[in-house]
Amino acid sequence: MNKNFKSLLFILFSFLFISCQPEPVEVCAIENQSLYQHYDFPVGVAIEPYQTAFFNENEPIIRTQFDRLTASNRFKADFIHPEENTFFWTQADLIIEYAEANNKSVHGHTLIWHEQLPTWMENFKGNRNEWEEMMKKHITTIASRYKGKVKAWDVVNEAFLEDGTLRPNIWYKNMGSSYIEKAFQYAHEADPGALLFYNDFNLALRPAKRKAALDLMKQLKFKGLPIHGIGMQSHIAISYPSELDLALAMKEITDAGFKLHISELDVAVNGNSSSSFKLNSELLQRQAKRYKFVFENYSKLEKQYQYGITIWGINDGESWIPGYFNREDYPLLFDETFSPKPAYCALINN
């Protein structure tokens, strides 16, 4: 083998080795940075009240990086309406007070859902009219209390199955499909100034579900109900859904005349629930690319339909995903030590 050929092989293999290496992990600091100030639309985060305490390490991140807050759980029925004639306001009020003190808006989540219901509600006995009255009291009491303080509500959450049929939940079984219409009616009557949203998951991954949700919301809107937007939850992964599916879902929702809220964004790096999973720099870069795509594509939508993007949690150590799916995962912008990850860096350097 001649000398020139050996040199050529060395150069070729060196190039292949270098090109196969993952991109270096991007590092950045959050000092003097504010994520929401990099965008023309609100950038929010889902929180629990304890995270807003001045001694909690999440608090500076909440205060400096986001301009909208969503309560992960504290507006849900089991927390806020534990007994039929008892409402528990303390925890929800803490979020409202923190938001007002720090000039942040609040998105209300959620008025009607089939999960996280108190026992009394699950065991409620009554005819259709009595169910309607019970639901009206629940919605009216909450939305009236926070009138003008909660700027928008997820009125109905996750009403459709993956095939586009209505979920046979406790509300549907006792009130029929009209429970959705009634919920929006009661919410609007309680606070006419609030924006009202329908919220659901897998709207990008399941076209039949997306079509069914849009068709019903358009029908109700045509009847005069004030349905302002769609919440596309976006619990996605680095490998699904495709960028095309994400972009198409965003376009179809806004083309239908609804504001779009990317309402529960996180990006799983272990979406296949592998028991041998190991986090590495390549996965972090793929996660960063996925976050960046969502923000970039959302930025291209018509401004009138950009309600904002909400990240579903602050740091990996407190994400809902590992506990819910019983797997290792790191889906958020900050790691368990509250340090910014490449995904955060990609968004502020976008």
Quickly count: other Cβ atoms within 10 Å of residue 47's Cβ: 25
By the 8 A CB rule, do 305 and 259 touch? yes
Amino acid identity, position 11: I
Q: Torsion angle of alpha carbons 282, 284, 286, 291, nearest 10°?
A: -170
Active site residue 264: yes
| Assigned token pair, 36 | 């929401």
Angle at alpha carbon of residue 272, lines to 267 and 273, rounded to 5°: 95
Residue 253 contacts by C-beta under 8 Å, 6 or more apart in sequence?
Answer: 203, 210, 214, 230, 232, 260, 305
**How long, in residues, is the chain?**
350
Catalytic residue (choose from 158, 264, 282, 302) = 264
Parallel/antiparallel/unpaired status of strands 229-232 and 235-237: unpaired
Cα-to-chain-centroid distance, residue 337: 22
Give the C-alpha distances (Å, rounded to integers) separating 146 from 6, 110, 187, 309: 75, 13, 11, 22
Closest CA to 25 of 288, 312, 205: 288
| Sign of the CA dihedral running 93, 97, 98, 103 | positive
Buried-state track 50-75, b at ≥16 Cβ within 10 A, e below 16: ebbeeebebbebbbbbbbbbbbbbbb
Distance CA(230)–CA(259), nearest Å, equals: 6
Cα-to-chain-centroid distance, residue 288: 17
Complete DSSP assignment for 54-101: TTSTTHHHHHHH-SEEEESSTTSHHHH--BTTB---HHHHHHHHHHHH
Which residues carry out catalysis?
A: 264
